[in-house]
Amino acid sequence: MSAIKKNSPNQLKIIARAFLVILGGVIAAYGLETVLIPNNVSDGGVTGLSIVGSQLFGLPLGVLIAIMNIPFIWLGYQQIGKSFAIYSTIGIASLAASTSLMHHIPAIIEGDTLLVTVVGGIILGFGMGLALRNGGALDGIDMLAVLLSRKLPFGTSDLILFLNLFVFIFVSFVFGLQGAILSAIAYFIASKVIHIVEEGLSGSKTFKIITTQPELMVETIRDRLGRGATYNEVYGGYSHEKFIEITCVINRLEESKMKEIINEIDETAFVTVYDTAEVKGGNFRKRNIH
């Protein structure tokens, strides 16, 4: 009995994640069918190629999305893992089915190209970001880019951009040059929204500070921001002199206050700042700046 109770939270978490991935597919399909496609604007990646194929050959968009993503799902299974492949299959199936069900829904925006790209990109990006945040993907081109980056001397983001360049060239044959440009803008907006949905609106920053006054720095950060910090001993590569490096995680809203504290205590401090995708454990909490 206790084993069943212990497993219930995990089962509920799996169901909740699957539901959110499905919801992401529905939202993305809504953006495609009611904003982008009726205004001759496409998406990037496999979905963009599916839209082009649907327009050229008169085949159902949902069927093409499902079929064209099959090899990428297998690639995701091989390169990323079983769980990712399962959630991606659920998300892509949701996207494919939803585009078929929503195909005859009237467009909610027509004619205004700026509004179409912005609204369409936001809706599409929100749906795709929701799926990615919960462990699935709605498009296979990212998986291909990950695989190619291991075999070629290019980064994943560079390869995604390169692969999508060919997608938008194909789009231009169907929707014209203007349609391809608008598609690229909508894709850019969607990518930014995906980033926001995955990491949250505020996000976190990690500061690494090498200073001659580490104790005072940590004490001031604790008093003014309510943040803890850790110490590490580091050594100069040339001088072999020992320094104390402070590591502290804050939210983005506290960044300017943190820089103010550093400049006030030690203007010569060596500071590096990193974007932090996720923070768990410890006593990390979002606090009011004071």
Structure confidence at residue 208 (pLDDT): 95
Does the pLDDT value for residue 89 go beyond 90?
yes
Which residue's entry shows tokens 């454990």? 281
**pLDDT of amino acid 85:** 87
Name the residue with higher pLDDT: 28 or 136: 28
- The answer regarding whether domain 204-276 maps to CATH 3.30.420.40 reads no
What is the chain's mean pLDDT, rounded?
85
Q: Is the pLDDT of residue 288 over 60?
A: no
- When pLDDT is averaged across residues 242-255 and rounded to a whole number, the result is 86
Q: Would the pLDDT of 139 be above 80?
A: yes
What pTM did the predictor assign? 0.74
Task: Collapse the DSSP code of 249 into the 3-class scheme (helix H, G, I; strand E, B; otherwise coil) and give the result.
Answer: strand
Q: 73-112 in b/e burial notation, b at 16+ Cβ within 10 A?
A: bebbbeebeeebbbbbbbbbbbbbbbbbebeeeeeebeee
- Dihedral over Cα of 110, 111, 113, 115: its sign: negative
Q: Give the percent of the chain with pLDDT over 90.
A: 46
Cα 12-15-20 angle, rounded to 5 deg: 125
- Residue that wins the pLDDT comparison between 39 and 75: 39
* Range of weakest confidence among 49-58, 66-75, 132-141: 132-141
Evaluate if residue 77 carries a pLDDT over 90: no
User: In which band, very low, low, confident or very high, does the pLDDT at 284 lie, cut at 50, 70 and 90?
Assistant: low
DSSP 197-224: HHH-SS-EEEEEEE-S-HHHHHHHHHHH
Lowest mean pLDDT among 105-119, 123-137, 144-158, 230-244: 144-158
For residues 237-264, give the mean pLDDT. Answer: 87
Digit-coded pLDDT (tens) for 187-211: 999 988 887 887 665 568 899 999 9
- The answer on pLDDT for 259 being more than 70 is yes
Tell me what pLDDT residue 173 has. Answer: 87
The domain locations on the chain are 2-199, 204-276
Tell me: pLDDT of 251 over 80. no
pLDDT band at 98 (very low <50, low <70, confident <90, very high): very high
